[in-house]
Amino acid sequence: MRVVRLSGLVSAGLLLSLLTAQAQTQTQPQTQDPSAGDPRRNQAAKLAGLAGFVNLECPGLRSDPARLKQTVEALGVDAASLETGDLHLIATRYIAAYQKDVAANCRKAEATFGPQGSIIPGLIVPR
């Protein structure tokens, strides 16, 4: 098992879900639709949604595109696949969910993904 040091949204549950997803992926056969039920793809879309939300709604903050790409690809997802199709739709849904409490989610994004972030530091940076 390869350990990847992620520095970047939602909570420490991200790491737990990534580890759980890796364990499940190793024990379960692939379905016909590679995006169906793949938690790593969902996590990549969630991170892309967070980055989009920060860019739209958080004054003084922005996402670091290079760091986002690095993180998404560490999950085994092609960053370009987030720009269209099902992953783009999922990311857009996350943006809408984060917009329900802009102030709290901007603070949380900075705390978990900002320069001193607890999960993926440097995913969110000052403007």
Handedness of CA 80, 85, 86, 88 (dihedral sign): positive
pLDDT digits (tens, 9 = 90+) for 3-43: 333 333 333 334 334 333 333 433 333 333 344 568 999 99
- Residue 32 amino acid letter: Q
Q: Of 51, 42, 53, whose CA–CA distance to 100 is shortest?
A: 53
Phi then psi dihedrals of residue 115, to 5 deg:
-55, -35
User: What is the tens place of the pLDDT at every residue in 42-96?
Assistant: 999 999 999 999 999 999 999 999 999 999 999 999 999 999 999 999 999 999 9
b/e 79-104 (16+ beta carbons within 10 angstroms → b): bebbeeeebbebbeebbeebeeeeee
Model-level pTM?
Answer: 0.70
